[in-house]
Amino acid sequence: MKSPWVSELQDVGAVRGVFLVAESEVRAARDDSPYLRMKLQDRTGAIDGLKWRATEAEQQMGRGGSYVLIKGKVDIYQGRLQITVDRIEPPPSEPDPADFLPQSPRDLEELRGELKDWIGTIRHPQVRRLLESLVIEGETGRKFAQAPAATMVHHAYLGGLIEHTVSVISLADTVAAHYPRLNRDLLLAGTILHDFGKIEEYEWQRGFRQSDRGQLVGHICQGLLLINRAMDAIPDFDPVWRMLISHIMVSHHGKLEYGSPKLPMIREAIALHYLEDLDAKMQIVDKELDNGASVGSSPNWTRRNTWLECALFRGVPSENDSARAPAEDSGADDAPEGGGPEDEP
């Protein structure tokens, strides 16, 4: 069991523990000796680390994306806790990434069960088999349950991809019932597969970053390759469904300037674009309202969020607050006779 957690480092004193180096930079001190500044993290938070007179070996061990055993002292610098590092060593055993990276608040096995149940509602047998082979079974199924949905914008944690997907499926199912001309099987299949290529776009063993394949190919094209390969393995896969699912894959970003190779040209692709964008936006809003910095002395407003292109107001009452609010008198009995707006000339 990992110990101590970053969240437990509240007091000044000696510390010895394994951390993930999220970021690192070698700088020169006033006497020109090299020192190493690191951002050390685990799943509970992050803390700055500083190693004076860092040797070349320590600089190599402390590179970003490395796991390190840190021995040093927690102290306070400019009002913030940091670790002044005495020694950097390799960890004594292979660390578990789940101890060092943020993870979905949802239970991942529960999410996998929900995803499997949703797939079971799809009537088209070839499409159902395609989905099972990709997101439930084997190595791709394991990766789909682990991958983040992004590196920083929304659902940027272990299990973020499957959490985002299951959330959008629920929205899609509701929308399909409301708009009966939507093909529910096609909409759900597109929903489940739209971000599938992210299992190859991202790496998450030592922090969240784009892979070489993610940089060069991207999740839309990579997902299309993987899905069509899986379709090839299903005898006589329906060519019309292959075309329609492929179209949803390449159009779900909605606009060419958002990186979509094609604009959505069928009902299901249009619906998916707005639904998956809604789910992503709501997660960004929640994260900003819960954790975002306030503007100046006003706690009611967040700073401007780059992705939302605005600041957010924190003063909206919750559903529970609304339910507890006392019922207001309509004022009908107290209104002066003839005093309603409709009586004004």
> What is the residue-averaged pLDDT of the chain?
88
Give the pLDDT score at 98. Answer: 82
Does 316 map to a domain?
no
pLDDT at residue 171 greater than cutoff 70: yes
Number of domains in the chain: 2
Residue 333 is assigned to a structural domain of this protein:
no
Q: What is the pLDDT of residue 232?
A: 96
200 part of a folded domain:
yes
338 — pLDDT class (breaks 50, 70, 90): very low
Cβ neighbors of 268 (< 8 A, separation 6 or more) are: 182, 183, 186, 187, 190, 244, 248
Claim to verify: residue 124 and residue 273 sit in the same structural domain: yes
Q: What letter represents residue 239's amino acid?
A: P
User: pTM here?
Assistant: 0.77
- Does residue 64 share a domain with residue 89? yes
Judge whether 293 lies within some domain.
no
Q: Report the candidate in 123, 95, 207, 195 with the shortest Cα–Cα distance to residue 158.
A: 207
53 and 135 fall within a common domain: no
34 and 74, same structural domain?
yes
Q: Is the confidence at residue 140, as pLDDT, over 70?
A: yes
Tokens for 128?
């159902």
Is residue 210 domain-shared with residue 254, that is, in the same domain?
Answer: yes
> How far apart, in whole angstroms, are the C-alpha atoms of residue 165 and residue 135?
11
In a domain, 25, yes or no: yes
- Residue 66 confidence (pLDDT) above 70: yes
The answer on 206 and 107 residing in a single domain is yes
Q: Are residues 65 and 139 in the same domain?
A: no
Amino acid letter for position 311:
A
Both 245 and 154 in one domain: the answer is yes
Point out the domain boundary residue: 260, 286, 312: 286
pLDDT digits (tens, 9 = 90+) for 89-110: 999 998 888 898 888 989 999 9
Assess if residue 345 is contained within a domain.
no
- Produce one character per residue of 192-215: b if its CB has 16 or more CB atoms within 10 Å, e if not: bbbbbbbbbbbbbebbbeeeebbe
SS3 17: strand
Confidence of residue 34 (pLDDT cuts 50, 70, 90): very high
Q: pLDDT tens across 217-262, in order?
A: 988 999 999 999 999 999 999 999 999 999 999 998 878 878 788 9
In a shared domain, residues 134 and 247? yes
Residues 121 and 16 in one domain: no
Domain CATH code at residue 17:
2.40.50.140
The predicted structure's pLDDT at residue 326: 61
Residues 224 and 109 in one domain: yes
Residues 200, 237: Cα–Cα separation, whole Å:
24
Task: Give the end of a domain, one of 286, 314, 339.
Answer: 286
Among 90-99, 206-215, 271-280, name the most confident range: 271-280
Domain end (from 257, 286, 315):
286
Identify the domain containing residue 73 by its residue range. Answer: 6-98
Is residue 155 a contact partner of residue 281, using CB atoms and an 8 Å limit? Answer: no
**73-88: per-residue pLDDT in tens?**
999 888 788 999 999 9
Distances (CA, A) of 272 to 126, 129, 187, 189, 327: 21, 21, 7, 10, 39
Is residue 337 in some structural domain? no
Is 247 within 8 Å of 262 (Cβ atoms)? Answer: yes
User: What is the DSSP-derived secondary structure letter of residue 80?
Assistant: E
Asked whether residue 344 is assigned to any structural domain, the reply reads no
Q: pLDDT category, 65, cuts 50, 70, 90?
A: confident
| Domain co-membership, 113 together with 89 | no
